[in-house]
Chains A and B, each alone.
Chain A
Amino acid sequence: MTGTIETPVVAERLVKRFGSFTAVDDVSFRIARGEIVGFLGPNGAGKSTIIRMLCGLLRPSEGRARVAGFDVAREPERVRENIGYMSQKFSLYTDLTVAENLRFFGGIYRVPRAVLPERMGFAVEMAGLRHRENMLVSTLAGGWKQRLALGCAILHRPPILFLDEPTSGVDPESRRRFWDLIHDLSADGVTVLVSTHYMDEAEYCNRVALIDRGRLIEMASPSALKQHTLGGDLLVVECEGMGTAMAALHEAPGVRDVAAFGNSIHILVESAGAALAALPDYLAGCGVRVTRIEQIKPTIEDIFVQMIGAEARAEGPRP
C-alpha cells in the first residue's frame, strides 16, 4: 500500500516556467508520512504552482517529483488516485446539493458502495452540515463550503492531501475548526501539504516552507526557525516619531535589523538585556520619546521579513 511510504512527497529541483517568467525556481524538499507542512509566502510567490505540479495538473519544466511513489509527470493518474486536492476557490458544484456533491466525488474516486453512506455521513458530520444534506451548495456560507470541500477531498481516504489556500476568505472561527480537522487527519497518518498566506497559521504546522519569488528560502519547524534563523533577540519599540526613530535605530550599537510593524518597530538585537538598558537613553538623545520597549517572542512573520531582507541584501538589487 502506498500509505506506508515513509516519504510520500519528494521534490527534486523543480522548475516551472511560463514563457520567460520563472514561477518556481529550483525547489527541492521531502515530506514525511503524517507530517503537516505549510507553504508560506505572499501571493504570487509560487506556492500554488508547486502544489499543482505535485498533483500532476502542471508539468514541471525541469526537475522531478514523486508523490505516493509515482512520478507526477509520467504517472499522473496513479498520483491522483492517492491524493486529495482542494484549491483556492471552493471547488464544489454549487448547483448541486451537499449530498449530490459527496456522491459525485464518491463515484469519481470509486469509494466502495458499501462504505459510501458511512463516509458521506462522516463528511457531513465533519463539515457540520447534518440536516443540510439537501441544500444547494450555492446557499451555504463560506466556512461550510470550505469544510465540505475538505470532506469531498478526503472521501476516498487519500494518504496525501494537498490544500491550496484552503482558508482564504474564511472567518477566524472557521479557520480554527478547519485546522483542528487537519490535525485529526494527520494523527491518522495522512500527509498534509497546505499553502497559506496567513502567517499565523504556520504555528499549526510541523514544518513550514518559506517561499518567495519562486524560491524555497527555508524549511524547518516553526520553533527551529525562530531560534536559529533570527540569530538574536527581538524587541518591540513604540514611540513618537517613527521615522526619526527608525533612522536612529539603524545606527544604534548592537542593533542588527529594524522593521516597521504597523505602529510599532521590531528590532533585532545581539542581546536583549544590554539593549533594554542602553536604547531608551540613546533614543532620548536622538530626540525620540519612547512609550514602550520590551522583548517579544518572534512570530513567523518576523522570521519571514528578516529572511527575505537578508536574501535581498545578499543578492544585491534585483534588475
Chain B
Amino acid sequence: MRSRRLQAVAVKEVLQIWRDPISLMIALLMPFMQMILLGYGVSLDVKHLPICVFDREASQNSQALLKRFQASEYFSIVAGFDNYRDVTRALDRGLCRLVVVVPTDFTERLTDTGRSAVQALVDATDDNTANIAIGYAQAVVTGFSSTVLIEASALAGSTVAVLQPIAAQSRVWFNEDLESRNFIIPGVVALVMALVGAQLTSLTISREWERGTMELLVSTPVTPMELMLGKLLPYFAIGLLDAVFCLAFAVFWFDVPFRGTLMTLFFTTSLFLTVVLGIGYLISTGIRRQVGAAQIGLLVTLLPTTLLSGFAFPIDQMPPAVQAVTYIVFARYYVTILKAVFLKGSGILDLTAPILAMIIYAGIIAFLAARAFRKRLD
C-alpha cells in the first residue's frame, strides 16, 4: 500500500466529483431535499383532525360535550349538520374523518339512569388514523363524564370527596411532547446517508468501465486496495459533511432534542458510512453500467432503510418473519443508535449491541469489497 498512489486516486476522484453536476447534486442538494421532504412530509401524529358534529339534542349538556372536542388539540370541528344525509355526504367527500352525533335523549338518559351515549362515525379508510381518532374521542368523552360525575355529587351536597378511580398520571420520557417528528428525523439522517453514500459510490467504478479508463487503471501498478481507499475517502468526507448538515438541520430547524455526545454520533456514523460506501463499491465492481449500478444501489439501500430499519415503522410491530429479516438490514442498527443518541442521550457503552453488530457488518463488507475488484479484464 502506497499513500502516494492512494492520494493520486483520491485527488482525481475529488476533481471528477467537482466537475460532475449530478454527483455534486447528489452530494449536496439531496440531503437538503430529503430532510425537508421527510421532515415535513412524514408525520404519524393525529392533530387537529377535521371532525363534524350533529347535535340532535342541542342542550347545554350536549354543547358542553362538543366544546370539549373543540378545545382538544386533536380535533377541530369543521362543520355542524342537522340531518344524517349531510353527515354521510361529509364523510363520503372527505370533509371530515369523524362525526360526533349526540342523540336526542342525551341529557334525559343521563339524568334518569346516570348513563348515556354518543355516536361516533369514523372514516376508517386509513385504519391507523381511525384507531387513533377513536381513542382520542373516547378520552374526550371520558374526561367529560368525570366532570359530570363531580358536578352531580357536588349538587347532591355530598361532603364526601368524590372517589375518583385510580388516575394514571403518565409521564412520557425521551420524547416528552410525543412528537412523531422527533422520532422520525433521527432516522432521516440514516436515510440520507444511505442514499447519498450508496448512490455516489455505486457510480465510481462503473464510470471507469463505461468511459474506458478502467483498462488504463488496470495497466498501472495501483493495487485494488489503494484504488478502493483512494476512491472511497472523498465520499467518506462528503458523507461526514452531510451528517453534520443533517444534524444541524434536525436540531436547529426541526427542534429535535439532541441529548447525546457528538463523539458517539461521529463514531457510529463513521461505522455506518463504512458499510454504506462498501456496499456501493461492491455493487459498482459487479455492474459495469452506471445506470444499472445506481438502480441496484437504490434498491439495496433506500428500500430496506425506509421500510425495515424502524425509521418510521416500529420493528416490534412487524410480523415475526419480517422482524427476523430486519436483523440483516444494516440501517436498523444505525437507526436504533441515532434515536437513542438523539432522544435518550445514550453513550457508546449503552449501545454496545447495535455498535457490535455494525462493526461486524462493516468488517464483512470491507473484506468483500477489498476482494471484489480484481485487476484483470477477463
A residues engaging B (CB < 8 A)?
A: 18, 52, 55-59, 76-77, 80-81, 83, 85, 87, 89, 91-96, 100, 103-110
Contact = CB atoms under 8 A, between A and B. Distances in A.
A205 B353 CA distance: 68
Contacts of A108: 5, 8-9, 220-222
A108 B223 CA distance: 10
A96 B18 CA distance: 10
B216 A58 contact: no
Given A91-B216, A104-B11, A109-B220, A76 B375 contact: yes
Nearest to B19: A95
Interface centre among A56, A81, A93 (most CB of B within 10 A): A93
A64 B8 CA distance: 33
A249 to B, nearest CB: 46
B377 A109 contact: no
Contacts of B12: 93, 96, 100, 104
A74 B101 CA distance: 86
Contact of A77 (B19, B215, B221, B377): B221
Interface of B: 2, 4-5, 7-9, 11-12, 15-16, 19-20, 211-213, 215-216, 218-223, 375-378
Contacts of A56: 219, 375-376
A56 B376 CA distance: 7
A95 B216 contact: no
B220 to A, nearest CB: 5
B219 A55 contact: yes
Contact of B213 (A59, A81, A93, A106): A93
A96 B15 contact: yes
25 contacts: A18-B378, A57-B376, A57-B377, A58-B376, A59-B376, A77-B223, A85-B216, A87-B212, A87-B215, A92-B213, A92-B216, A93-B12, A93-B16, A93-B213, A96-B15, A100-B15, A104-B11, A107-B4, A107-B5, A107-B7, A107-B11, A108-B5, A108-B8, A108-B9, A110-B221
B4 A95 contact: no
A58 B211 CA distance: 19
Nearest to B16: A95
- Name which of A93, A103, A108 has the most chain B CB atoms within 10 A of its CB: A108
Contact of A106 (B8, B15, B215): B8
A105 B211 CA distance: 17
B377 A58 contact: yes
Nearest to A101: B12
B198 to A, nearest CB: 22
B209 to A, nearest CB: 12
A119 to B, nearest CB: 14
Contacts of B16: 93, 95-96
Contacts of B378: 18, 58-59
Most buried by A among B2, B16, B219: B219
Contact of A110 (B2, B9, B215, B219): B2
Contacts of B221: 77, 80-81, 108-110
A103 B219 contact: no
Nearest to A111: B4
A139 to B, nearest CB: 13
Given A77-B221, A80-B220, 4 more contacts: A57-B219, A80-B221, A100-B12, A108-B222
A110 B19 contact: no
Nearest to A53: B378
Nearest to A61: B378
Contacts of B218: 57
Contacts of A95: 15-16, 19-20
B219 A83 contact: yes
A103 B20 CA distance: 20
A76 B257 CA distance: 55
A107 B8 contact: yes
Contacts of B9: 107-108
A57 B218 CA distance: 7
